[in-house]
Amino acid sequence: MSAFSLEPEQTAWCAELRALAAERLRPLAGKGEPGRVNRPLVAELGRLGLLARLFSSGALDLCLMRESLARLCTEAETALALQGLGAHPVHAHGTPAQREHWLPRVADGSAVAAFALSEPGAGSDAAALSLTARPDGPGRWRLTGEKCWISNAPEADLYTVFARTTPAAGARGVTAFLVPADRPGLTGAALEMLSPHPIGSLDFDAVPVTADDVLGEPDRGFRVAMGTLNLFRPSVGAFAVGMAQAALDATLAHTARRDAFGGKLSDLQSVAHRVAEMALRTDAARLMVYAAATAYDTGAPDVPKRSAMAKLLATETAQYVVDAAVQLHGARALRRGHLLEHLYREVRAPRVYEGASEVQRGIIAKELYARPEAR
């Protein structure tokens, strides 16, 4: 892939997003309750036009949005991303009626979306889903089973739900359904997690769905899921890069002014070299994220590999950078309310969700052996 750099318009837009995050979004995020959907924050994202842009932008624009917001307000970044993840299957595979009913509400922030793929026994192994869609007449099913670790559950207004319609068929027997939250038999509970954004479980007790609720085609839901993840995995990397950059910025400021051993902390070679390593890894991850997003936007054949590489490198990098930043700040970084204390809790989850790091390595290896010409 050819080298590239951001256009001046893109750089200016990123600066504008960071300003909006600091001035308009961070105050609303501060008023939210950890582990709960912050509807005023979602609504403000809608008023700013950022949610609507989820459905008109390419992968690179999505990455720029997520990275820019994450540098100043991780809560706003996550609220934006979850709206996109939950509603993208509706945008890409929904019927005209589904799109007309739901997408304007997601775009203006009046409806909260969620992507319901993971289960207690099928987190990383998405083809092993056990939520069952039992036939209930022509073009009708009943959903029975459980979903777990679902972001925005149980408070979302609509769920993209993946259920098994053909037993023992692996990935070929999964169907994607658009399930409104008010369907009878659908209940859920919030889960207390390390990550501060809302995550919960969902219970399906013979929840009725029909052919009008199918996203795409019956038994082709795995394709819907993987298409969505191929788009969003590089932008998970962008989220990670944004957090890494925030941690790096804080560390540069702290080490430059902190008195230590007769000088500044930055005068110590061990500190300066550690900060240099943090910057090196952050920039390398950013370039890989942008390359993967550009590959998606240009229809390159190796998108699954590039998406996996970008997500893997960026999330592992962010973990390193945030941890190093905490070490260089010392005990103050562990105090509740400190930026790095917040980032330390935020940074761990992206190495697990939308495919754990081990899954990304498996995807990369599979693509390398399947497409030797793409090495």
Of 136-140, 195-199, 360-364, the least confident: 195-199
Give tens-digit pLDDT for 250-291: 999 999 999 888 899 999 999 999 999 999 999 999 999 999
Which of 176, 110, 188, 178 lies closest to 146 in space, CA to CA?
188
Binned at pLDDT 50, 70 and 90, residue 170 comes out as confident
Question: How many Cβ atoms are within 10 Å of 275's Cβ, its own excluded?
Answer: 22
- What's the chain's average pLDDT? 93
Give yes or no for residue 344 having a pLDDT over 70: yes
Report the alpha-carbon distance of residue 162 to residue 183 in Å, rounded. 16
The lowest-confidence range among 76-85, 176-185, 188-197 is 188-197
Q: If you average pLDDT over residues 134-158, what whole number do you get?
A: 96
pLDDT band, residue 124 (cuts 50/70/90): low
Looking at residues 330-336, what average pLDDT do you find?
94
For residue 372, what pLDDT band results from cuts at 50, 70 and 90?
A: low
pLDDT at 172 over 80: yes
The pLDDT-based confidence of 230 (bands split at 50, 70, 90) is confident
3-state secondary structure of 102: helix
pLDDT digits (tens, 9 = 90+) for 67-113: 999 999 999 999 999 999 999 999 999 999 999 999 999 999 999 99
| Mean of pLDDT values over 215-233 | 91
Percent with pLDDT over 90 in the chain:
84
Amino acid at 211: A
Instruction: Tell me which of 44, 67, 316, 354 is the catalytic residue.
Output: 354
Number of other residues whose CB lies within 10 A of the CB of residue 91: 18
Q: 85: closest CA among 289, 293, 228?
A: 228
pLDDT at 171: 80
Top-ranked range on mean pLDDT: pick from 237-246, 300-309, 365-374 = 237-246
Task: Determine the distance from the C-alpha atom of residue 63 to the mean position of all C-alpha atoms in its chain, rounded to a whole number.
Answer: 10
Token representation of residue 282: 């952050």
Q: d(Cα 125, Cα 295) in Å, to the nearest integer?
A: 25
Is-cis flag, bond preceding 180, omega within 30? no
Phi, psi at 308, each rounded to 5°? -65, -45
225 against 170, higher pLDDT: 225
Dihedral sign, Cα of residue 39, residue 11, residue 234, residue 34: negative
pLDDT at 203: 98
* Rounded Cα–Cα distance for residues 130 and 35 (Å): 27
Q: Is 9 a catalytic residue?
A: no
Q: Which residue intervals of the chain are DSSP H helices?
A: 8-20, 26-30, 39-47, 50-53, 59-72, 74-93, 96-107, 221-257, 269-297, 303-329, 339-348, 357-370
CB 66 within 8 A of CB 77: yes
pLDDT at 2: 44
